[in-house]
Amino acid sequence: MDDCIFCRIAAGHIPSQKVLEDEHFVAFRDINPKAPQHILVIPREHIPSLNDIDGWGAAQGHELLRFIVRVAEQVDVAASGYRVLTNVGPDGGQEIPHLHFHILGGEKLGDFR
Ligand code: 5GP
Ligand code: ZN
């Protein structure tokens, strides 16, 4: 989608600090980090939110989880620990309507609700 900022980042049309990418997913640093390591993982395909993954099979879901672990290893938080979250819709605080998973780590994270 031409007017989607994360589609444009995935395509390389908007610069970002990419940490890992493959055929299906891209990981890049959040522009406004909330932790020493704050990475966003997105599918290349435009999917608005987690509510819209009906087209995915089990294999793609597993690939996503494996990709997230590879990102955690890449930024060296796999052993120390990290948090993965996705915001969905207005109450979830989702600002960008392209599915993305936050990976947060690099320090002891506070509680959240
Ligand atoms: P959300 O609130 O939708 O879950 O998270 C969106 C995230 O995208 C925010 O943490 C925000 O800092 C990040 N973000 C927004 N615009 C850009 C951008 O142009 N580049 C990067 N790298 N991150 C962005
Ligand atoms: Zn998009």
**Top mutation candidate among 18, 19, 38, 96 for ligand 1, by most atoms within 8 Å of CB:** 96
Cα–Cα distances in Å, from 31 out to 63, 80, 102?
25, 23, 12
Separation of CA 87 and ligand 1 centre (Å): 11
**Top mutation candidate among 4, 28, 29, 30 for ligand 1, by most atoms within 8 Å of CB:** 30
User: Cα separation of 67 and 40, whole Å?
Assistant: 12
Separation of CA 26 and ligand 1 centre (Å): 14
The helix/strand/coil state of 90 is helix
Walk me through the domains of the chain, giving residue ranges and CATH numbers.
Answer: 5-105 (3.30.428.10)
Q: Residue 59, Cβ neighbours under 10 Å: how many?
A: 8
> For residue range 35-66, what is the model confidence (pLDDT) as tens digits?
999 999 999 999 999 999 999 999 999 999 99
Q: Which residues of the chain have pLDDT under 50?
A: none
The model's pTM is: 0.97
Tokens at 51, concatenated: 């509510």
pLDDT for residue 94: 98
pLDDT for residue 2: 81
pLDDT for residue 5: 98
